[in-house]
Structure 1
């Protein structure tokens, strides 16, 4: 079970992934050696998936964010596998969620423009075996984007 120091490490790294071990230790109130051991344990146990730079999509010419609702003919593995292979090979598809409701999958897709989106749709998604339909919604504005989890709700062992 995680304690308050572990949660503090995770929270600090969500805000600033480039903290040095010294800076992280200072932020959470530990010396560097125990902080480093805790960080390594959190990485080893899979609490931390990795470290990345968060890019500005406009600066790298990615201007269209779309959410595609994909409906499949059925849920048989021989139907889903080709679709999931296409999804895995398309870097424009940032997220793929199997969902409940009126569709089977919800995809978050980012492309440079509508022409690029249409090309991805017509040449990749709609060509995947088993795809019955794709309904797209385009993001007009993004008033909130976060990748940080609400760790204040996480239960922890306070006997640190």
Structure 2
């Protein structure tokens, strides 16, 4: 269980994971060594799963973001496992969720351009034996970036 200081540490690290122990301690009212120990404990407990750099997609040649809903034709375990393996092999698929409702999966995809998205959908996703329907929505503008969790 986390206390108020742990939650402050988590909030600070979500905004700047590169913060030194001294900086973190200054923000949460602890010494550098106490802050470092708490961060390490949060990592060991699996509360902090890792650290990532946030990259500007357009600066690395990714110009199209899309959400793709996938409806399966059947729901047998082998087909679902095969589809999951397909998703894992596609670096363009940066998030994937299973859903309730009409669509079975929601995929967040980044591609260089519309032609690359078209190829991904028509040459890799739609041909999968378990897939019956795909519907895509192209992101026109992202109004809010992935935000920190409300800890």
1:27-42 superposed matches below 5 A:
27-42=27-42
> For 2:91 and 2:26, how far apart are their aligned partners in 1?
38
Structure 1 partner of 2:20: 20
Q: Is the 8 A contact 1:66 1:108 kept in 2?
A: yes
| 1:56-81 superposed Cα distances (whole Å, 9 cap, x missing partner) | 00111101010000000122211101
Shift of residue 147, structure 1, vs aligned partner: 3.4
SS in 1 for 2:81: helix
RMSD: 0.8
Q: Given that residues 82 and 129 in structure 1 are in contact (C-alpha distance below 8 angstroms), is that contact kept between their aligned partners in structure 2?
A: no
**Which contiguous aligned blocks of 4+ residues in structure 1 show a shift greater than 3 angstroms?**
none
How is 1:6-155 mapped onto 2 (pairs within 5 angstroms)? 6-151=6-151
Instruction: Indicate the SS of the match to 2:101.
Output: coil
Given the two structures, how large is their TM-score scaled by the length of structure 1? Answer: 0.92
* Unmatched segments (≥5 aa) in structure 1: 152-160
Where 1:59 maps in the other structure, the secondary structure is: helix
Q: In 2, distance between residues paired with 1:128 and 1:99? A: 19
Q: Aligned partners of 2:129, 2:86: CA distance in 1, in Å?
A: 10
Whole-angstrom distance in 2 between the partners of 1:74 and 1:2: 43
TM-score (norm 2): 0.97
- Answer yes or no: is the 8 Å Cα contact 1:67–1:107 preserved in 2: yes
Paired residue secondary structure (2:9): helix
Shift of 1:97: 0.3
Question: How many residue pairs were aligned?
Answer: 151
